[in-house]
Structure 1
Amino acid sequence: MNGPEILVSFAPELALFVPHERRGGPTRAVTDGAATLGHVVESLGVPLTEVGALVVDGREAAAGHVPVAGETVAVRAVSRPQEVPGAPLRFLLDVHLGTLARRLRLLGVDAAYESTDIGDPALAALSAAERRVLLSRDRGLLRRRELWAGGYVYSDRPDDQLRDVLGRFAPRLAPWTRCTACNGTLRSATKEEVADRLEGGTKGTYDVFAECEGCARVFWRGAHHDRLETIVGRAVEEFGGAERLSLSGD
C-alpha cells in the first residue's frame, strides 16, 4: 500500500493478532486510498470475526468505510457474550477441533464437525449455506469473504477452548441430549429396543439407555461417565443449563 496515512490502535484483547510494534498506542498505517477499513484491519493481522467495532475519529464506522488521510481508527474487540444474527445458534468446527466439537455436543450444543480436511473454501461455503458460526484457530480461514460468521479459538487446550466458546457465544446448554459421534439428537431407549447392539457384559450391567436418532449409536452410563459428568457439571455451574437427559454415553 502506498497512499494516505492513518493512525490505528488495537484493543489489548487483539494483541495476539498484531505485530509487537503495533501494540499499545496508535501506530501509523499506510493505505492505498481505495481499500476498505475492513481490508486494512485484516491486512494488519486481525480477522474481522474478532472485531467488535471500528471507531473512526470518535464515531463508529462500517467495515466498508474507505479511510482518508489523517483519520484515527480504534479497533475494538468483539463484545462478550456476542450476539449472532438468526436462530438457532449453531456451530461448524474445522478438522483440528474434534475434542471441542465432542464436548459441545456433550452439552447439547449443535456442533457440526468435519473430521477430514475438506479445504478452507468448502468450510467457509458450508458455514454460509447452513448459517453456522465457524470455529477455528486458522486466521486465514476466518478472513475468507464467503464466511457467514466465525470465531477464533484462542487456546489449544480443550478445557480452555470450551470455556472460551461458551463465554463468548452463550449457547443454550442441554446436557446429554446430543450424540457426541454424529451430532444427532438422543432419545431414551429401553434395553429391549437396543439389545441387539449390546455386548453381553453391557446388557447384564446397565438398564438405562439412549439411542441416537441419526446414527443409531447406543449410549449408557459407562466407564467414562464420571469424567464426562465433571465436564458437564463445571459448564452448567458456570454458564447455566436447561433440558437434561438422564443418561450419558460411553
Structure 2
Amino acid sequence: MNGPDIHIAFDPELLLFVPQARPTGATKAATDGVSTLGHVVESLGVPLTEVGALLVDGREVPAGHVPAAGESVTVRTVEHPQRVPGAPLRFLLDVHLGTLARRLRLLGVDTAYESTDIGDPALAARSAAEQRVMLSRDRGLLRRRELWAGAFVYSTRPEEQLPYVLDRFQPELRPWTRCTACNGLLRRATKDEVADQLKGGTHRTYDVFAQCGACGRAYWKGAHHEQLVAIVERALSRGTQED
C-alpha cells in the first residue's frame, strides 16, 4: 500500500506487536482504496485474534471496512472475558506450550497439544476441524484464515500463562478429571487394575487410584501432589473472586 495516510492508535497491550508505534501508541499507514482495515492492522503486526473493537473517527466498524485517506483509527484490545461461540470451550496448543497444556488438563479443561512441530497449516486445519481455540506465541500461525479461533500467549512463563488464559476465556474448571499426558478422561481404578504400573513402595503406600480411559496411565497422590493441589486451588480461587 502506498497511497494517502490514515492515522492508527493502538491500545497499550497491543504495542508489543507494533514497535513502530512506540512509545506514543500511534502510527501511520498508507491506504490503497482496496485493502480492508483488518488487513492493514495485520500488516502492521497485530493478529486479529488480539483485536477487539475497531473505531474509525469514533464509530465502530467491522474489520472489512476499507479505510479512506485521513481517517483516524483506534484499535482496541480484545475484551476479557472473551466469548467464543460454541460449547464446550476447547483448546489446541502448539509444541512450545507443553507445560500450559498439562496445567489446563489438570484443571479439567479439554486441551489438545501437539508435542511435535506439525506445521502451521496442519495446526490451523485441526483448530477448524475440531473447533478449538488455538493458543500460541506464533504470530504467523494466529494470522492464518483457517483458524476457528485463536489467542496469543503473551508470557513465556507457565505460571503467568495459565492465569492469563483463565482470565481471558474463563473456561469451566473440573480439576482431576483429565489425563495430563493425553487429555483423556479419568476414572476411578482399583489397585489391581493399575498394579503393573506401580513400584514396590507405591504399591504398599497408596490405595486410591485413577486411570485414564484413553491411554491407561495410572494416577495417585504421589510426591508432587501438593504442588498440583496448589495450582488447582489458585485457579479455583480466581474464579471465586470474579463471581
Give the TM-score normalised by the residue count of structure 2: 0.95
Q: Runs ≥4 in structure 1, deviation > 6 angstroms?
A: none
Q: How many residues align?
A: 241
DSSP-derived class of the 2:127 partner: helix
Corresponding residue of 1:60: 60
Rounded Cα–Cα distance in structure 2 between residues aligned with 1:240 and 1:184: 27
DSSP-derived class of the 1:193 partner: coil
Corresponding residue of 1:246: none
Task: In structure 1, list runs of 5 or more residues that go unmatched.
Answer: 242-250
Rounded Cα–Cα distance in structure 1 between residues aligned with 2:83 and 2:70: 32
Superposed displacement of residue 118, structure 1: 0.1
Corresponding residue of 1:235: 235
- Asked whether the 8 Å contact 2:81–2:169 carries over to 1, the reply is yes
Corresponding residue of 1:46: 46
Residue 117 in structure 1 maps to residue 117 in structure 2: yes
Rounded Cα–Cα distance in structure 2 between residues aligned with 1:116 and 1:37: 35
- Asked whether the 8 Å contact 1:185–1:212 carries over to 2, the reply is yes
Task: In structure 2, list runs of 5 or more residues that go unmatched.
Answer: none
- Asked whether the 8 Å contact 2:189–2:209 carries over to 1, the reply is yes
DSSP-derived class of the 1:80 partner: coil
Give aligned-pair identity as a percent: 73
Residue 173 in structure 1 maps to residue 177 in structure 2: no
Rounded Cα–Cα distance in structure 2 between residues aligned with 1:202 and 1:58: 64
Q: How does 1:1-250 map to 2 (within 5 A)?
A: 1-24=1-24, 26-240=26-240
Measured at CA, do residues 4 and 48 of structure 1 come closer, stay the same or move farther in structure 2, by a change above 3 Å?
Answer: same
Q: 1:130-149, CA deviations, whole angstroms, 9 ceiling, x for partnerless residues?
A: 01000001111111111110
Superposed displacement of residue 20, structure 1: 4.1
- RMSD between aligned residues: 1.4
Q: 1:205-250, CA deviations, whole angstroms, 9 ceiling, x for partnerless residues?
A: 1000001011010000011111111111111111249xxxxxxxxx
Q: 1:101-133, CA deviations, whole angstroms, 9 ceiling, x for partnerless residues?
A: 000000111110000000011101110110100
DSSP-derived class of the 2:84 partner: coil
Superposed displacement of residue 193, structure 1: 2.4
Report the residue type matching 2:102 in the other structure. R
Report the residue type matching 2:167 in the other structure. G
- Asked whether the 8 Å contact 2:9–2:27 carries over to 1, the reply is yes
Rounded Cα–Cα distance in structure 1 between residues aligned with 2:90 and 2:202: 34
- Asked whether the 8 Å contact 1:187–1:213 carries over to 2, the reply is yes
Superposed displacement of residue 196, structure 1: 3.2
DSSP-derived class of the 2:129 partner: helix
